[in-house]
Amino acid sequence: MSDFPRWKYALVALMMVFGIVYALPNAFIPIPAVQVTANRGAPPIDTSVQQKVAAALAAQHIAVGNVSVQGDHLLATFANADIQKSGADAMKSTLGDGYTVAFKLQSTVPGWLRAIGARSMPLGLDLQGGVHFLMQVDENDVIDKQESSYADDIRSLLRDKHIRYESVTRSAVRGQGIAVILRSAEDRAKASDDIANEYADLNVSNGPSTGDRYVLNAVVKPEKLRALSLNTIKQNLGTLRNRINALGVSEPLIQQQGESRIVVELAGVQDPAEAKKLIGATATLQYRAGIGQPGDAQAREAARTGNIPPDANLYYMRGSHEPVLVGKRIIVTGNELTDAASGIDSQSGTPKVDVTLNAAGAKKMGDFTNANVGKPMAVVYVERVVDTKMVNGKEVRTPKITESVISDANIQGPFSRQFQTTGLGSPKEASELALLLKGGALAAPVDIVEERVIGPSLGQDNIDKGLKAVLLGLSLVLLAAALYYKLFGLVADIALFFNLVILVAVMSMIGVTLTMPGIAGIVLTLGMAIDANVLICERVREELRNGSTPHAAIRAGYEKAWSTILDANVTHLIAALALTTMGTGAIKGFGVTLMIGILTSLFTSVTLTHAFTAMIHGHRKLKTLSV
């Protein structure tokens, strides 16, 4: 009689239902769609925009499935990629530059499946199509920022120590450090000791002296610059991940290549111009000491004549375009923000962004506001957009930085770590700014040095070939097992089928991106999974040849084969784990699929087949087994 416990039957049934339900969303093919969002300053998406788009598509006889407003964007679905392209062109020409028109694939998974967390596997760049960018990090900007930061710190240190100095300036040659000019040899000696004690990352040495000008050179140590470069890459990786994830691009691949480059792959994005805009458009805030009020006489005179005070910059207020003078000294920047959230100011009713600073930024802001109550402080909005134009048949990319003042008000009282910024044009603008600030500021600018576009037709061809490979491999294995091991082979076939179903369900649930190497991992998993059943069947055969009863042969077959099956799969699992943890890109995709497949095959090949075998043979007398 069978000794297979009931709780294992329940576990097998539960896993089979789980596999079917969570693998089911992959049967629903996503459809091509175009998403429209309003740019800053453009009218919001509403029914009038929906009607305008529908009328434009109808006028050009472009078949559209559905045009609907979904929150702050409009979505139009199409039957295929060719109609999608025509529809996008028509929508761009109709709406103009005020709106962003982007391609996407719209999920068709039913709502009841989405409600329980069931979703289809996201497809990788090689299956879904998309864009590939190779980005170069501007390491010179890292050096410039670090030297400027040290120059500001040295000035503050000399003032705190009451050491007289003439000037503290960066060297004209990048990487040569900061030149400090003092008024006496005693001041230079004291400044040298204080700077060396306070900033261990600086090499301090005496420079040439003439008359009452005593030069002190402070150069950033090479190992510090290298550490800064590596940290810059890491920070930019995190920032790009945060921003792209927050802005809705599904399953992006963002990874480091070499010491100064970053690879970005956006699956499903077919418009490289829009993708570059998404990556290149970065925004941050700078909090600076104010000099006057917007539109005052001094600011208007500076704007008219171009004569700007040496310690100030001339900016313009956003919206009103009033000229305003702002001090060159930066108190804190977006690099020192740890959190940002948008909202509405309860007193003025205008959009706001609540800002939280890190410890270093909070100290700077606290020191400044304590010493400058009643004086103005300006909030400068800095945006960097890469402008792409075709010149003589070649694409020319030009970084464009725009700076404007969104707030210039007097400090009412001291504050440090948490405060709010107002003066934004709309709640949507406040939300977008908070999103970018929360994602972090780029530690250094990045420029796209290479790009490739993979069309969806190539991706569909890969999907078709991969699907044929899986089905062919599965069919051959199923046929071989059924012919050679008869009834036990059919049970193994059922287990192999559910192994594929549960594998797809697990990959879908945890959001593994399916790529061509992933499909190769699935095919390999199916081939390896039958090995365990071969071992079990051969053990059962051996027990029957040794004179065991059919029930005893089944029991002994599973017990004696288990240790061998476990050893073989553990070694495979170690190899898959190494590929997953140390590999990148295609290697990692293959390793992840293989690792999940090994775990699912352990369950289906042993527990699930044992349950079916016990169900078939467990409650009847047997003279022999169909094995």
pLDDT beyond 80 at 596? yes
The neighbouring-strand residues paired with 220 are 202
Q: Using one digit for the tens of pLDDT, what is the confidence trace for 259-293?
A: 788 888 877 666 666 666 556 556 667 888 888 77
CATH 1.20.1640.10 location in the chain: 6-25+467-617
Q: Using one digit for the tens of pLDDT, what is the confidence trace for 316-350?
A: 887 678 888 888 888 888 767 777 777 787 777 77
Question: Where does residue 327 rank: exposed (0-12), middle (13-18), buried (19+ CB within 10 A)?
Answer: middle
Q: How far apart are CA 316 and CA 547, in angstroms?
A: 95
Long-range Cβ contact pairs of 215-218 (< 8 A, separation 24 or more): 215/179, 215/180, 215/181, 215/182, 215/188, 216/179, 216/180, 216/181, 216/182, 216/188, 216/191, 216/192, 217/171, 217/176, 217/177, 217/178, 217/179, 217/180, 218/150, 218/154, 218/177, 218/178, 218/180
Q: How far apart are CA 602 and CA 592, in angstroms?
A: 16
> What single string gives the DSSP state of each residue in 53-107?
HHHHHHHTT---SEEEEETTEEEEE-SSHHHHHHHHHHHHHHHGGGEEEEEEEE-
Q: Using one digit for the tens of pLDDT, what is the confidence trace for 402-446?
A: 788 877 777 877 888 887 777 666 776 677 667 656 655 566 777
pLDDT at site 24:
92
Q: How far apart are CA 461 and CA 334, in angstroms?
A: 45
Report percent pLDDT > 70 for the chain.
Answer: 85
Coil vs helix vs strand at 511: coil
Q: How far apart are CA 480 and CA 530, in angstroms?
A: 10
Report percent pLDDT > 90 for the chain.
Answer: 3
pLDDT at site 458:
57
pLDDT at site 419:
79
More confident residue, 202 or 141: 202
Would strands 165-170 and 351-357 be described as parallel, antiparallel, or unpaired? unpaired
- Across the range 504-528, mean pLDDT stands at 83
Asked if residues 562 and 587 have their Cβ atoms less than 8 Å apart, the reply is no
In words, the CATH class of domain 140-224 is alpha beta
User: At 502, which helix (H) or strand (E)?
Assistant: helix 456-510
Picking from 26-40, 84-98, 244-258, 310-324, which range would have the lowest pLDDT averaged per residue? 244-258
Q: Using one digit for the tens of pLDDT, what is the confidence trace for 530-568?
A: 888 888 888 888 888 887 887 788 888 888 888 888 888
Q: Tokens at residue 107, please?
A: 């999920």
pLDDT at site 225:
78
- Across the range 453-482, mean pLDDT stands at 75
Q: Using one digit for the tens of pLDDT, what is the confidence trace for 375-399?
A: 888 888 877 666 666 677 666 666 6
Q: Tokens at residue 453, please?
A: 């576009």
CA of 555: how far to CAs of 2, 8, 168, 542, 549, in Å?
Answer: 9, 15, 85, 12, 10
User: At 567, which helix (H) or strand (E)?
Assistant: helix 550-582
- Across the range 15-35, mean pLDDT stands at 88
pLDDT at site 342:
78
Per-residue HEC secondary structure of 299-328 comes to HHHHHHHCCCCCCEEEEEECCCCCEEEEEE
Mean pLDDT score across all residues of the chain: 80
Q: Report DSSP state, residue 25.
A: G
Q: How far apart are CA 439 and CA 593, in angstroms?
A: 30
> What single string gives the DSSP state of each residue in 223-263?
HHHHHHHHHHHHHHHHHHHHHHHHTT--S-EEEEETTTEEE
Most distant CA atoms of the chain, gap in Å = 113
Number of helices (H) and strands (E) in the chain: give both, helices first: 17, 20
pLDDT beyond 60 at 249? no
Tell me yes or no: is domain 281-441 CATH 3.90.226.10.
no
Which amino acid type is present at position 405? V
Q: How far apart are CA 37 and CA 489, in angstroms?
A: 56
CA of 34: how far to CAs of 169, 476, 538, in Å?
Answer: 52, 41, 56
pTM value > 0.75 = no
pLDDT beyond 60 at 574? yes
pLDDT-derived band at 505, boundaries 50, 70, 90: very high
pLDDT-derived band at 234, boundaries 50, 70, 90: confident
Q: How far apart are CA 106 and CA 74, in angstroms?
A: 12
pLDDT at site 281:
56
pLDDT at site 21:
92
pLDDT beyond 80 at 312? yes
pLDDT beyond 80 at 76? yes
pLDDT-derived band at 31, boundaries 50, 70, 90: confident
31-106, CATH topology level: Alpha-Beta Plaits (3.30.70)
Cα 368 to the chain's mean position, in Å? 35
Asked if residues 65 and 31 have their Cβ atoms less than 8 Å apart, the reply is yes
Q: How far apart are CA 123 and CA 132, in angstroms?
A: 15
More confident residue, 516 or 454: 516
Residue with tokens 């480091």: 256
- 597 closest CA partner among 512, 475, 487: 512
* CB contact burial 225-251 (16+ within 10 A = b; e otherwise): beebbeebbebbbebbbbbbeebebbb
Question: Where does residue 355 rank: exposed (0-12), middle (13-18), buried (19+ CB within 10 A)?
Answer: buried
Which amino acid type is present at position 140? N
- Across the range 93-101, mean pLDDT stands at 78
Q: How far apart are CA 488 and CA 627, in angstroms?
A: 6
Picking from 121-125, 443-447, 545-549, 569-573, which range would have the lowest pLDDT averaged per residue? 443-447
User: At 160, which helix (H) or strand (E)?
Assistant: helix 139-160
- Across the range 607-623, mean pLDDT stands at 78
Asked if residues 625 and 617 have their Cβ atoms less than 8 Å apart, the reply is yes
pLDDT-derived band at 1, boundaries 50, 70, 90: very low
pLDDT-derived band at 502, boundaries 50, 70, 90: very high
CATH homologous superfamily of 6-25+467-617 equals: Multidrug efflux transporter AcrB transmembrane domain (1.20.1640.10)
- 174 closest CA partner among 196, 151, 149, 141: 141
pLDDT-derived band at 3, boundaries 50, 70, 90: low
